[in-house]
Structure 1
Amino acid sequence: MEATRYTVPQSNTSFSSSSSDFSLCPTAATLFFLPSIYTLLFLTALPGNMLSLWVFLRCISTVSPTHIYLSHLSISNMLLSLTTPFLAAYYARGSVWTLNSVLCQVVLHGITPVLHINIYISLMILTCVALSRFAALIQNTHASRPHACTTLLPHAFFTRLTRVSFAHNVSATLWVVSVGCIVPGTIYYSVHEATGSPTAAAGEDGEAATGGCGKVCYSPAVELGGSLSAALKVPVITLFFAFYLLVLLAYMTVLRHLRRSRRHSPASASQSLPSRVLRNIVVIQVVLSVCLLPYHIFKPIFISLVHDQLRLASSPGPDICSYCHPLSIFIELKNCLLLLTALRGSTDPMMYFLLDRTFRHQTLRLLRCYQKKPRRQPVFGSTTGSASPRADQLGEGTVALSQETVL
């Protein structure tokens, strides 16, 4: 499908056929940029999250709630990375695939649910990490001068947030809620809206969304969806902003707590904990703001544009497939912002370095072992073990590292 098709004449406003009858006109952004970045995402996200999961499960002896949350985030990112080759193929060849082809059906029924599950389970996990750090701050600083939050919330609430068992239960609950809420909506979208059933994604005049032009995979019916899937996105977007504001509130509270502690005890060693917690929450806030916020700001705008477009049904002439869909450029912008949410799969392992000191030490130690690989020297000393003092030192260092307070 060429990107040089005619656009809809603006002067012709006699409407008689659904706007979904038009063709999408992918530009270089869809045909080359998106496939290239998704391929790069696969090459970086899969090994990065596999290494991160190995460190969390095998190299860290003292487990904290943060380790539990981040290990589940790594699992989610690994699943996301496995979908990126299909997404790259969809954007590169989706305008050629038929709607009933195997690859198109895989993208609709398999890749779409996994992608959206990753987005929202990541949002909830990062929020839980921020709250667990906030709870650690409340519990471990200024016992003689309690924080205002302790008067509003019971002490048991903060205690549970810092427990490993609670983190396991919350993580399992998040998976169940994400899958249970997202999968039914995506199944309805892929079966009744994207694939063009008689009543799917129809305009006000009741015409099917896939009528008129050839039923290709990269089409208005697939990219726009229908009224029900648009309605289901509204509470999901509201949920995102609720979690985003919750993290922002935690950041503002910790910042105020840190300023107050500096006024009362300047240059105190106890300020290192509030500073680390503040830095960690800032990292999470930056990730949410850069990767997830633009998509969720644009999504309500896009839904309103689709809603307005469904009210219009242009009749440019008999060769309707020669005209680009009026929202083609907005669809490409939406897909670029969706790519930004998926890029977290590559950047999250770097975020772990900033969030967790134990993860950072253990990962660097693991990488040094693979890089150096020292040759084993035969030991000709006595059998008392004095010939290997370095091994003893490493063992002591490992024990000392595992006893560090992870905050």
Structure 2
Amino acid sequence: MEYTSDTLPMDNISLPFSALSLCPTAATLFFLPSAYMLLFLTALPGNALSLWVFRRCISSISPIHVCLSHLSISNLMLSITTPFLAAYYAWGSIWSLSGAWCQLVLHGITPVLHINIYISMMILTWVALSRFAALIQNTHASRPSGCTKLLPNAFFSHLKRTSFATRVCAGVWAVTVGCIVPITVYYSVKEAVSVNASARSGCVEVCYSPDVEIGGSLSATFTIPVIIMFFLFYLLVLLSYMTVLRHIRRSRRSTTVTTSLSLLGRVLRNIVVIQVVISVCLLPYHIFKPIFLSRAHDLRQLTYSPGPNTCSHCHPLSSLIELKNCLFLLAALRGSTDPLMYFLLDKTFRHQTLRIFGYDQNNAGHQQTCSQTGSATNRAGQLQDGNVATATADTSQGSVL
């Protein structure tokens, strides 16, 4: 809906558009709360089980398993916040801005959401790049890839160490929390409650409001480097996919391939899956966010003259805010699909998960405890640690992530 000077007359002494109310539709009042509750019911048990398998059921844990366990921790944090998000979208339009529930969403839930998104992005990118680096170093010894010259040999040896993976994950947490928390705290403490236009126009300040959903100019400015970082990581994953694809083509033409083409294909498939997850879940939100911020910036410069029914006027960005929230839901849904990704792509994880539920095909009728992992897990650990060349003698037993 376009607002013209006939419906909202402009005035040099009028109020900003943030004084108007958002007009939530069924998408906000019913769809988003239902989707977030469904996300809670699937993400919480799925990631709790994944974390249990990674920490307790795999004796020879690999660097990739370390990364995925940190990803499960981040997803668990996300799943705990989803009931509060469901309540926010269902009742935020009647919650008071200064109320306890609204303040919890602003100060507690908002930082956790953004931390989860960018920790997930960074960890998935690292998993893709580490698989790519181990592959190009070990699967074409007679004709090494030119990419191996860009990094020192010490880096490739560190990829095989779980301690290095632990330090990488700790760095990811530190960088993400250090960058996201100041922005979200400033947004929730200053920008989301700084404009009292609605109070000055006689309207009740509610939690689901333009100030909360749009924020201010400073947090929007800080968001730009975050979006740029996302696209840099996205391009890195895309570049690794294209390079591995080229590496496979070279291997097929070579007469001295040091490993099976099936292994190359499985590693390529894993990078493709990560690329698809990022593209479907995270890319739409990050494409739309700059457009939304630009539209909000243009509208922030405009004013309107308050009338007798100011509180009943809908904010011009109401529909775009709902679209933004739906795309953010798509990004959060990744927390529910990640355990399925582990199960489908990682043989070690799948084997131990089936064993927990009593479906151990190698030991029918005899369920073993998680701590008793067989030689298949050890071989998977070798493969995961990057020893591709020595572990390919029995690739069917290895983990493919």
TM-score, normalised to structure 1, is: 0.87
Asked whether 1:83 is paired with 2:53, we answer: no
Work out the CA distance in 2 between the residues paired with 1:138 and 1:280.
15
Query: Helix, strand or coil for the counterpart of 1:403?
Result: helix
Q: What displacement does 1:155 show?
A: 1.9
The aligned counterpart of 2:374 is 398
Question: Where do residues 222-301 of structure 1 align in structure 2 (5 Å cutoff)?
Answer: 222-265=212-255, 270-301=260-291
Quick check: 1:14 aligned with 2:10?
yes
> In structure 1, which of residues 92, 95, 102 is the aligned counterpart of residue 93 of structure 2?
95
Could you tell me how far apart the structure 2 residues matched to 1:291 and 1:337 are? 8
5+ residue gaps, structure 2: 385-399
Alignment CA distance shift 1:327-1:396 (3 Å): closer
1:63: Cα distance to partner? 1.2
Distance 1:316 1:209 in 2: 10
Residues 92-131 of structure 1: pairs in structure 2 closer than 5 A: 92-131=90-129
Pair 1:368 & 2:353 matched: no
CA distance in structure 2 between the aligned counterparts of 1:76 and 1:22, rounded to whole angstroms = 36
Change (3 A) 1:337 1:395: closer
Distance 2:125 2:371 in 1: 35
User: Cα distance, 1:369 vs. partner?
Assistant: 5.5
**1:350-369 alpha-carbon deviations (Å, 9 max, x no partner):** 11123422111111222225
Number of residue pairs matched by the alignment: 377
Question: CA-to-partner distance for each residue in 1:286-336, whole Å, 9 max, x for gaps?
Answer: 010000000000000000000000011122623211110000000000000
**1:7, distance to aligned residue in structure 2 (A):** 7.9
1:391/1:181 Cα in 2 relative to 1: closer, same or farther (>3 Å)?
Answer: closer
Match of 2:325 in 1: 335
* 1:349 aligned partner, one-letter code: P
1:69-123 CA-to-partner distances (Å, cap 9, x unmatched) read: 0000000000000000000000000000000111101000000000000000000
Structure 2 counterpart of 1:27, from 25, 28, 31: 25
Aligned-partner residue type, residue 100 of structure 1: S
Q: Are the counterparts in 2 of residues 30 and 332 from structure 1 also a CA contact under 8 Å?
A: yes
In 1: Cα distance, 2:123 partner to 2:155 partner: 17
1:235–1:397 distance in 2 versus 1, CA, 3 Å: closer
Query: In angstroms, what is the RMSD of aligned CA positions?
Result: 2.6
Contact 1:18 1:209 in 2 (8 A): no
Seen in structure 2, the aligned counterparts of structure 1 residues 167 and 111 have a Cα distance that, compared at 3 Å, is same
**Higher deviation after alignment, 331-340 or 263-272:** 263-272
C-alpha distance in 2 between matches for 1:224 and 1:347? 28
Distance 1:397 1:29, change over 3 A: closer
Give the aligned partner of residue 378 of structure 1: none
Q: C-alpha separation between the residues in 1 aligned to 2:252 and 2:367?
A: 43
Q: Distance in 2 between matches of 1:9 and 1:127?
A: 46
Shift of 1:9: 4.8
Matches of 2:55 and 2:178, distance apart in 1: 27
Aligned counterpart for 1:136 among listed residues 134, 146, 152: 134
Residue 65 of structure 1 is aligned with which of 52, 63, 66? 63
Question: How far, CA to CA, are the matches of 2:132 and 2:150 in structure 1?
Answer: 15
| 1:242 to 1:391, Cα distance in 2 relative to 1, 3 A | closer
Are residues 1:315 and 2:313 paired?
no
Return closer, same or farther for 1:359/1:346 CA change in 2, 3 Å cut-off. same
Residue 357 of structure 2: SS of its match in structure 1? helix
After superposition, the Cα gap between the structure-2 partners of 1:144 and 1:50, relative to the gap in structure 1 and judged at 3 Å, is same
The 8 Å contact of residues 283 and 355 in structure 1, kept in 2 or not, is answered as no
Query: Quick check: 2:15–2:306 contact (8 Å CA) kept in 1?
Result: no
Q: Does the C-alpha gap of structure 1 residues 328 and 395 become closer, same or farther in structure 2, counting only changes over 3 Å?
A: closer
Partner of 2:145: 147
> d(CA) in 2 for partners of 1:135 and 1:86?
40
The TM-score, its normalising length taken from structure 2, stands at 0.88
Post-superposition shift, 1:138?
1.8
**Aligned-pair distance for 1:268?**
8.5
Inter-partner Cα distance in structure 2 for 1:391 and 1:303? 55
Residues in 2 aligned to 1:80 and 1:146: alpha-carbon distance in whole angstroms: 42
Deviations 1:28-61 (A, max 9, x none): 0000000000000000000000000000001111
Give the Cα separation in 2 of the matches to 1:317 and 1:55.
Answer: 61
- Identity value in percent: 66
In structure 2, what is the Cα distance between the partners aligned to 1:396 and 1:82? Answer: 31
Q: 1:401 Cα deviation (Å)?
A: 3.5
2:38 to 37, 40, 43: 40
Partner Cα separation in structure 2 for residue 251 and residue 354 of structure 1:
19
Name the aligned partner's letter for residue 14 of structure 1: M
SS in 1 for 2:304: coil
Check whether the contact 2:93–2:206 (CA below 8 A) recurs between aligned residues: yes
TM-fit CA distance, 1:208:
4.7
Answer yes or no: is the 8 Å Cα contact 1:124–1:174 preserved in 2.
Answer: yes
